[in-house]
Amino acid sequence: MSAVALIERDFAVPDIRCAGCIAKLEQGLVRDRRIAAARVNFTEKRVHLSCTPDADMPDLLGAFTTLGFEAHPIGTGEEADAEAETSRALLRAVAVSGFAMMNIMLLSVSVWSGAMGATRDLFHWLSAMIALPTVAYAGRPFFRSAWRALRHRRTNMDVPISIGVLLVSVMSLYETATHGAHAYFDGTVMLLFFLLCGRWLDSVMRDRARGGFTALLRNMGTGAMVFRHERSAHWVDATALEPGMEMLVAAGERLAADGVVAGGSSSIDLSLLTGESAPQTVRLDDIVHAGTLNLDAPLRVRVTAAGADTAIADIARLMGEAAQGKSRYVRIADRAARLYAPAVHTLALLAFAGWMIAGAGWHHSLLIAAAVLIITCPCALGLAVPAAQIVAAGALMRKGVLIKDGSALERLSEVDLALVDKTGTLTLGRPEAQGLDRLDIGIKSLILALAQASRHPLSEALTRGLQVHDVRPADIRSIRETPGFGVEGRWSDRMVTLGRPIGTELGEALATQLAVDSRPVATIRFADRLRPDAAEAIEALRGEGIGAMILSGDRAEAVAPVARELGIMAQTAMSPQDKLEAIARQAALGHKVLMIGDGLNDGPALAAGHASMAPGSASDVGKNAADCIFLGDRLMPVVEAIRMARRTQAVVRQNFMLAIVYNVVAVPLAFLGLVTPLVAAIAMSGSSLLVVGNALRLKAAMW
């Protein structure tokens, strides 16, 4: 097979539940001769296949079906629909089971208060009428998963849950039909409600962790006008572009492919790729990349790479590989679940067999076995992590930090080295006009009138700066913008222009100039300044035992002043691959790296870091690749998120201890026949509430 060129395919598989599912898929799929390798991304519930060219899509889908899993090819849009529908279905099931649980508990209170005879039978039948449809509807996620597993002669966590729920439901119906004293519909529905809550919370956190590809594709041009010959051009979709074609890129349009400038000159916004906020001038034979924005004038670009061969697609591939590495960490955390199903089945069977041998009869023995199944339901264990993470994520959200992936808090608590991008991360990432307060009010009003008529980044910076000074725009008419040169208009009988400075004494400094009748009146420089609390945040990181270093794609001259002011080391002119390698080197030295960046060029590094954060002003790709997003101009939320993550981990450890103590005490009692299915459900629910209550303490810790 090694001599055959393999093709790569990705599939969404929503039914991956535990480490057993991962092992089943990775070991089972490669038994098909056409599949060379299968790798599961548990976080995103996706499977990556390397297969031979003769493997058709129906055959690959059939391989998943044979193992008991439904798969959806990624890229068709079906996977997004399936994932969204799964979350919606879980939420509906939580609502239905919660509503049913409250009504059945009201009926049960009447029975517990001493209702007898026909009244008790009536309440039992009413409970059955509510509970049975609820079990049939809300229990479907567990039943479907368990049935698929059993049909293919394997087991998973949903098998004992389904057996317990069905067993107690059937026995409760038997008790009701035979006028028995005890029915356990309340316990069954309560069990489903708490299990569904845990699964829905888990689904919510996973949804936030998914998908950088959709955002990445939004940054690509959808197509381009391609020349047929010198005077005629036609629209070609991005997927049909090929090397050698010559495309016309209008001002304000994103490039749909990589290429070389074959005609014209303009300014290109490269912030998506390099993080550099200043537009870059491009001329004949300069290289330009897909996803960047042409700002000033039309360009003729000869395509050199399109589709999967572009730089932006390469960055997407690096992000995917880095995310795969992160999923291995999640597997380790989930490995313990592999023992759950066989252990619970064994315990329940032993309880049933032991009590049958002891002469308790099938009815009593079944009740004890059902109590063992219910009391060992992993609700508290299942809620131990997501409950703490959801509370912490909510508290951080009020502080301006958005947590996308629950496991990010776990990883964030372990970091001991911060690698920080400069532009847009340590700095504000937008040009700020310098020295506006020294200008005459008349000049300010002329500049504002011209600047607010343009969407150029420097014009927008001028508009923002002058509006702070409460300046009113002058009465300028016939305003006209010339791409590549600036804005001009008529003020009384005079011509005023705002644009590229005359002369070369400014060098490469970012600046613009106001001229009246072609005579320069004022020159304004621009700079990207540090975030107001950058120094304080770096010092606070040191206080938490976390060193900091700059990783930047900018030139050394641009980075050096920032590094000096903050007193930290810096590496400059780094490509996305260089940043990945820097993170790998630090990881090899035993460091847990926190990557903080904002641009598309930081995407792979953000995905590869042990944990990652991006500012709210970051590109869509940067925000999708990062685990957390902090809002506003301050950098201190980074430190606050780390402190909260460490508190959260302490609560998670306490929750695990509570769950373990619960099982150590409750399981022997159930095994000895001292617990009915109802008491088992209440005990299981009580342990869940205890875990949730402990997690809620995090809310107070943030204030």
Residues with a catalytic annotation lie at 421
User: φ, ψ for residue 580 (rounded to 5)?
Assistant: -60, -45
Q: Tokens for 515, please give them.
A: 């001229």
Write out the H or E segment, with its range, that includes residue 587. Answer: helix 576-588
CB atoms within 10 A of CB 529: 14
Q: Strand locations in 241-357, DSSP E? A: 246-249, 258-263, 266-269, 280-282, 287-288, 293-294, 299-305
| DSSP structural state of residue 437 | G
What percentage of the chain's residues is helix, strand, coil (to nearest 5)?
A: 55, 20, 30
Q: Tokens for 226, please give them.
A: 């391609």
Q: Tokens for 653, please give them.
A: 């450890």
Q: Tokens for 490, please give them.
A: 């008529």
CB atoms within 10 A of CB 245: 18
Order of all β-strands in the sheet with 72-73: 35-41, 46-51, 7-12, 72-73
CA nearest 680: which of 167, 336, 180, 175?
A: 167
Angle between helices 117-138 and 140-151 (to 10 degrees): 60
d(C-alpha 268, C-alpha 254), whole Å: 9
CA 502 to chain centre: 47
Write out the H or E segment, with its range, that includes residue 227. Answer: strand 223-229
d(C-alpha 430, C-alpha 459), whole Å: 12
Residue type, 48: H
d(C-alpha 264, C-alpha 283), whole Å: 6
DSSP three-state, residue 2 = coil
Residue 513 · residue 383 · CB < 8 Å: no
Q: For Cα atoms 409, 413, 419, give the angle at the middle one, nearest 5 degrees.
A: 100
Q: Tokens for 395, please give them.
A: 């508290």
d(C-alpha 381, C-alpha 204), whole Å: 17
d(C-alpha 488, C-alpha 498), whole Å: 6
Please give the radius of gyration of the chain, using alpha carbons only, rounded to the nearest integer: 31
Label residue 545 left, alpha or beta by phi (over 0 means left) and psi (-120 to 50 means alpha): left
Alpha carbon of 179 to those of 3, 111, 182, 693: distances in Å? 72, 13, 9, 38
d(C-alpha 179, C-alpha 111), whole Å: 13
Order of all β-strands in the sheet with 280-282: 280-282, 266-269, 293-294
Q: Tokens for 630, please give them.
A: 């902090």
For the chain, report the end-to-end CA distance as a whole number of angstroms. Answer: 60
